[in-house]
Amino acid sequence: MAEAITLEKYLKINDKELAGLIMRIGKIAERISKELPYRRGKANTQNVFGETQLVADKWADEFIIKELRKSGLVKTMISEEQEDVVCLNDKGVFNVTLDPLDGSSNIESNNLVGTIFGIYKKDLPTKGKHQIGAVYILYGPVMTLVYATKNGVNEFLYAGKEFVLKEKNIKLPEPGKLYGIGGLRKDWFPKFRKYIKELEIQGYKLRYGGSFVGDFNQVLHYGGIFAYPSLVGKPIGKLRLFAESNPMAFIIKQAGGASTNGKYSILDINPESINQRTPTYIGNKKLINNLKKIL
């Protein structure tokens, strides 16, 4: 059997510039997955979005900030759990966005959760198209780390003591098979409801788990569309531009797919606030182009 390619080795050959940061992120993920059984229940606090924080949300946020500060690699950070831009190290070369525990309401039911990073050299806030990389970790039956740069999208799985390459240069399968949509169906706008109905008639299967990382990961592997759409009474949807939508929009683009906020690519949204939300539609290019025409 061929020797497994470790994350460290792969980065050194293919994405040297980000090697130090992504290796750190891998170590952070290892620790988070070990702590999840013990960091349970609600914290008596709310985040800037008015959501009740869980012990795990707060712990992961503080832990990641501490570790990235120690690394000396990161200048500033925007986190879903922080109100303002956090300054980490003046000498840092990267600026990072963070969703420390995405889908954390799944913790109670032991469903999928993840961590999302967007990586920039430009100062934040800026457009998502200026990302130089993005990473997510999926704490699933097996922990996986997916990272993308302009060189492609690569997936690693945690095997015992380190991340090893599972698949390199991932491209979205054509045609896609799945769809997963957040929010209540009764609140979807009629045009969007009709679009989804047509996908169902074409044989697209519903896969929705309530964790962006988990649901996105399904689309990356089987093709299709994920959306947290504009809703009646909540036109900006739910997902956070910096912490959630931009990194995934970057990854899907490198995998040959596309994203939109209903009008144009998520990566082209001009940010007005670091905590802004955006309707998010992500998936195979053809599906996103058709959707844009309909919306």
Residues in the site for Mg ion, rule: CB under 5 A?
99, 102, 244
| CB 1 to ligand AHM: min, Å | 36
Residues 6+ apart with CB under 8 A from 197: none
| CB 24 to ligand AHM: min, Å | 22
Q: Are 208 and 226 in contact (CB under 8 A)?
A: no
Q: CB-based burial of residue 166 (10 Å sphere; 0-12 exposed, 13-18 middle, 19+ buried)? A: middle
For residue 156, give both structure tokens: 């690693």
For residue 33, give both structure tokens: 């997955």
Report how far residue 216's alpha carbon sits from residue 98's, in angstroms, rounded to the nearest whole number. 16
Nearest to 211 by CA among 125, 106, 109: 106
Could you say which of Mg ion, ligand AHM, none residue 228 binds, taking C-beta under 5 to 8 angstroms by partner kind? ligand AHM
Give 89 or 111: the residue with its C-beta nearer to ligand AHM: 111
Residue nearest to Mg ion (CB): 102
Could you say which of Mg ion, ligand AHM, none residue 182 binds, taking C-beta under 5 to 8 angstroms by partner kind? ligand AHM
Give 15 or 81: the residue with its C-beta nearer to ligand AHM: 81
| CB 116 to ligand AHM: min, Å | 8
| CB 116 to Mg ion: min, Å | 7
Residue nearest to ligand AHM (CB): 212
Binding region for ligand AHM (CB under 6 A): 51, 80, 99, 102-105, 182-183, 210-212, 228, 238
Q: Are 32 and 139 in contact (CB under 8 A)?
A: yes
Q: What's the DSSP call for residue 267?
A: G
Could you say which of ligand AHM, Mg ion, none residue 72 binds, taking C-beta under 5 to 8 angstroms by partner kind? none
Give 173 or 209: the residue with its C-beta nearer to Mg ion: 209
Give 10 or 228: the residue with its C-beta nearer to Mg ion: 228
Give 43 or 295: the residue with its C-beta nearer to Mg ion: 43
Q: Are 246 and 266 in contact (CB under 8 A)?
A: yes
Could you say which of ligand AHM, Mg ion, none residue 126 binds, taking C-beta under 5 to 8 angstroms by partner kind? none
**In sequence order, which ranges of 205-245 are alpha helices (DSSP H)?**
212-222
Task: Kindly provide the b/e burial profile for residues 27-57, where b requires at least 16 CB atoms within 10 angstroms of the residue's own CB.
Answer: ebbbebbeebeebeeeeeeebeeeeebbbbb
| CB 19 to ligand AHM: min, Å | 28
| CB 40 to ligand AHM: min, Å | 15
Give 39 or 238: the residue with its C-beta nearer to ligand AHM: 238
Residues 6+ apart with CB under 8 A from 167: 154, 155
